[in-house]
Amino acid sequence: MGANTREKEAGDDVEVRPEDQKAINSFGRLNNRKHDIEDEIKEKQSLHDLLDDASNEMILADEDEPVRYGFGECYFECNKDQAEELLDKQKEDTLKEIAVLNGEINGIEDTLSGLKTQLYGRFGSNINLEETPA
């Protein structure tokens, strides 16, 4: 069996070339970015759930009673219809942001998959790129 066809075994010394180190570093950065985006998606989803709850509460509000709508750190009064429009717009924007983040994760996962293939092909079992469960 030739050296090119045999699998890399643990204990085999494989020289880490500069391009290998760049791929390893890139994998680490992308993996960290992926986790950051996943956390951001959780936050956005939580915000969307809160907005959905607020929207449901608006159904119970009186038509003629003013609504105090939070905008940043301040509140302003508006009528029920305006508040519902603002909530719907904010929910829609949040869903769009979540979709963009999911698209970014998909792109990152494709790149990570390619890097895994490249690095496992070069280093075999001498490198571990798998996630460990928390």
pLDDT for 62 equals 86
**Is 130 domain-assigned?**
no
**Is 11 domain-assigned?**
no
pLDDT for 61 equals 85
**Is 133 domain-assigned?**
no
CATH of the domain at 102: 1.10.287.370
**Is 22 domain-assigned?**
yes
pLDDT for 11 equals 55
Domain hosting residue 25, numbered range? 18-124
pLDDT for 126 equals 92
Q: What is the residue-level pLDDT of the chain in tens, covering all 134 positions? A: 344 434 455 556 789 999 999 999 999 999 999 999 999 999 999 999 999 999 999 988 888 889 999 888 999 999 999 999 999 999 999 999 999 999 999 999 999 999 999 999 999 999 999 988 76
**Is 56 domain-assigned?**
yes
Query: Which residue, 13, 2, 19, is CA-closest to 124?
Result: 13
Give the whole-angstrom CA distance, residue 57 versus residue 55.
5
**Is 113 domain-assigned?**
yes
Token output for 82: 């305006």
Domains in the chain: how many in total?
A: 1
Cα 91 to Cα 22, 29, 86, distances in angstroms: 40, 31, 9
**Is 8 domain-assigned?**
no
**Is 74 domain-assigned?**
yes
